[in-house]
Amino acid sequence: MPMRSLFFKIFFYFMLIILLVSTAAVVLTYLRHQQFPLLAHRDFARTAIVKYGGDAIRSFERGGYEELEAFVRKLRDKSGIVMVLFDDQARPLNGRMMMRHHLQQMALRALQSGEVVFPLRGNRNGLAATVRSDAGQVYVVTLVLPERAQPQQAFRTLTHGIFGAQLLILLAVSAAVCYLLARSLSSPISRLRQATRRFAAGDLSTRIAGQVKGSSELIGLAEDFDDMAGKIEALVLAQKRLLRDISHELRSPLTRLGIALELARNPADEAVREKMLGRIGLETERMNEMIGQLLRLTRLETGGSDVERLEFDLFRLLRDVVQDADFEARSRDCRVTLQAPEPLFFRGSRELLKQALENVIRNAVRYTADATRVEVSLQCARGQLEITIADRGPGVPEDALGKLFDPFYRVADARDRESGGTGIGLAIAEHAVKWHDGRIKALNRPDGGLIVEIVLPLQH
């Protein structure tokens, strides 16, 4: 009903504007004609006076007063124009006494000015001017035009006859145009409202851009709705997937905690008890690490708007991460090397980039083969920074490369759990890189191993 009410409001306002403009045009035209009669323009008035006055003067000079009265009477009956003829002394030659006295003042003014004159007050439907006869005699011709119709008569003229029918046709066409305009404006809004209701009811796949026709503003509004709906759908699906993955990931350590707790309660074997308490501590530490990484991932997924951008030396940051990873890798006779220019300043979040680089490099150390090397390089090219981390591990199946950065995704579930990973590190790295308007991808090395490429724009 609100959309229908909007349609009627738009239709009503359009029709009201048309009626007001039409009424104003009629009223202004009527008032203008009342103030300035049709023959009141001087050139046209002079032409009318010369025409009618010349005929009247010739009638008077040919047949005297009687023929003049006959001409004036015929003119009045035919056109409604009243004429009084004056001589060059402003003495009336025809007409009633009241009419003579009323027009005599105009005749005197016309003799004095030699121009077409009009009444100074009252109804402005009179005019007077001098006319010279063929014999050279000067006369003053005064005309009284028919009075304009009163408003009631004007309204009757407008609403009856041919003009009234034309007015009705014009109003019908205007109503049809207003209907189409109101419908074209309200229909997209009605569809957008219906889509909003479906979306609010839980249909997150609702889209409307292809259904809206009209102005670019309405199409833009529909596209903005689709963009908003797509982002909300992605967030809701990501939340559902994350909750599902979290419940799945927490179930295993909780199960192991429960088993270890039952075994630790058996006081018969002190060695078993100590071993189970160690297992409980290890599982607790893993759960704590997982929860911390989940909190960081959630913070990044929501935009990380409270993270401050500062300028720092990216080479030193990468060197520190590589040194820590190299120290850990030596237990497996592995090395982590770095090739990068120094110093290299970058504007962004030092903490986020440190987390991203640590997760990727430690992941490479975890899966590289024993007694091999993880190679880290940093270079500037084409206005951007390129960081490459390459290991000598087994690589990843091609169909799994695009899923490596999904939360909790594991290529080999049992092996990854034994390595101690939570499946969130690479997802945190991807969000941290995207927060810096960069991109990250993984690809297999031709001679074995995995390469992770991080590209960051230098405008930071």
Catalytic residues: 248
Amino acid letter for position 117:
V
Closest CA to 141 of 97, 92, 96, 102: 92
- What is the CB neighbour count within 10 angstroms for residue 20? 10
199 Cα distance to chain centroid: 21
Give every CB contact of residue 309 below 8 A, 6+ residues apart in sequence: 347, 348, 349, 460
CA–CA separation, 444 vs 162, rounded Å?
87
Give every CB contact of residue 22 below 8 A, 6+ residues apart in sequence: none
Asked whether the beta carbons of 31 and 152 are under 8 A apart, the reply is no
**Cα dihedral across residues 47, 51, 52, 56: positive or negative:** positive
Give every CB contact of residue 454 below 8 A, 6+ residues apart in sequence: 356, 357, 360, 386, 387, 388, 389, 429, 433, 438, 439, 440
